[in-house]
A and B are shown apart, each in its own frame.
Chain A
Amino acid sequence: MSLFNVFNIAGSGMSAQSVRLNLTASNLANAESVATRPEDAYRARNPVFQSVLDDASAASVRTAGVVESGADTEARYAPGHPMADEDGYIFASNVNPMEEMANMISASRSFQQNVEVMNTSKELLLRTLRLGE
């Protein structure tokens, strides 16, 4: 395995983390979405990461899937709302903004870490290429 492999690994980490960031953005954007029926309400989405064995020694990461949060959606009594059902309820999403913010910070830190790994490997490679000059 050469240093070039590090680019694949760090790259896979970056794309996995960007999927996570994307989902966090989508969750935060839909935090205030409402629906008429509880099953139509927006549910927070989260990625599931899985490691993929490239060869015997290194594993990159991939997004195996996206799961929707099973937490209860919130029923709000708002009879004047145009989306309200016959009982006067609307159903808000089950997104927890605090959780999403923490998720976002964690994802961006992990992303940065992968960028640093990639930069260091790039420097090592470039330096090796100049060997003997």
Chain B
Amino acid sequence: MSDKIFGIHAQALTLRAQRTGVLAANLANADTPNYKARDVDFQAVLGAEAASRDVSLQRTNAAHLGSGGIGGFDDVTLKYRIPSQPSLDGNTVDEQAEKSEFASNAVRYMASLSFMEKRVSGLIRALREE
């Protein structure tokens, strides 16, 4: 149901939240020796999700839950960032890059969210009797 209302944005929001955590971890470990910065390959994960949306589990009862839209993405594989300036202590966090990624991620999260907000308010307006 929520799939039909929100489209891919419900999934995108979950993935954005997960990515926020990964980027926050990179920033928190900016001074940890040998920590390797990681990130979610957003396009790959969400692209795979979008492709799999055409294929859904067969439901023998209307009350059965669908396969998508529950919980997070369990199989998100994180990739290591290629350091632009390797440091002696083995840390590959580039604080500026992480910060800009974090900001852009937050804005995109907001974008998905405002799409969902508009969708909800549109539906509520359609349901309301005038």
Contacts and interface: CB of A to CB of B under 8 A. Distances in A.
Interface in A54-105: 56-61
Contact of B24 (A50, A58, A123, A128): A58
Given A10-B28, A131-B113, A132-B117, A3 B99 contact: no
Contacts of A120: 20, 102-103, 106
Interface stretch (B30-38, B52-60, B62-70, B80-88): B30-38
Interface residues of B, number: 35
A5 B116 CA distance: 23
Contact of B28 (A1, A106, A114): A114
A117 interface: yes
Nearest to A106: B31
Nearest to B124: A132
Contact of A13 (B28, B33, B109, B116): B28
Given A57-B22, A131-B117, A113 B30 contact: yes
A124 B21 contact: no
A43 B99 CA distance: 35
Contacts, number: 103
B96 to A, nearest CB: 10
A107 B31 CA distance: 9
Given A51-B35, A131-B120, A132-B117, A61 B28 contact: yes
Given A57-B76, A120-B102, A131-B113, A110 B21 contact: no
Interface string B1-23: 00000000000010001101111
Interface in A106-133: 106-107, 110, 113-114, 117, 120-121, 123-124, 127-128, 131-132
Given A49-B29, A124-B106, A124-B109, A1 B17 contact: yes
12 contacts: A3-B21, A6-B24, A48-B33, A49-B32, A51-B29, A56-B78, A57-B78, A61-B29, A113-B99, A120-B20, A127-B113, A132-B124
